[in-house]
Amino acid sequence: MIFLPQTNSKTPMDKKELLERLTLRTGDDKKHLEEILDATLDEIYLSLKRGESVSLRHFGTFYVRPERSSTVFKFTPSQKWKAMLGWSSTYKGEL
């Protein structure tokens, strides 16, 4: 079963809150989870910097697209996310 803490906050979840939730969900050490999260974000950053796309199943794809005078960061949500947002989607699984 997935633990989903209830929140009425309209503010975005920050790294500290994400780590708190991961700690509650996994029971793992917060410092260890922070190292994993930092390494994951670093790898995503480095891949994008090299011009590679990063695709995370059931989440979406991050990529950069060169424009005339700059580089544009893009994100395409997965079909699951599109279905959760009420967008047109081919996703048939449970939300």
Tell me if 4 is assigned to some domain.
no
Q: What is the pLDDT, as a whole number, of residue 1?
A: 43
Give the tens place of pLDDT for each residue, 53-75: 999 998 999 999 988 899 899 99
* Number of structural domains found in the chain: 2
Both 30 and 57 in a single domain? no
Tell me if 5 is assigned to some domain.
no
Both 73 and 91 in a single domain? yes
- The DSSP code sequence of 36-82 is HHHHHHHHHHHHHHTT--EEETTTEEEEEEE-SSSEEEEEEE-HHHH
Q: What is the pLDDT, as a whole number, of residue 86?
A: 87
Give the tens place of pLDDT for each residue, 1-31: 445 555 666 788 999 999 999 999 999 999 9
Q: What is the pLDDT, as a whole number, of residue 36?
A: 97
Residue 85 has pLDDT above 70, yes or no: yes
Domain holding 82, by residue range, is: 53-95
Both 34 and 62 in a single domain? no
Both 24 and 44 in a single domain? yes
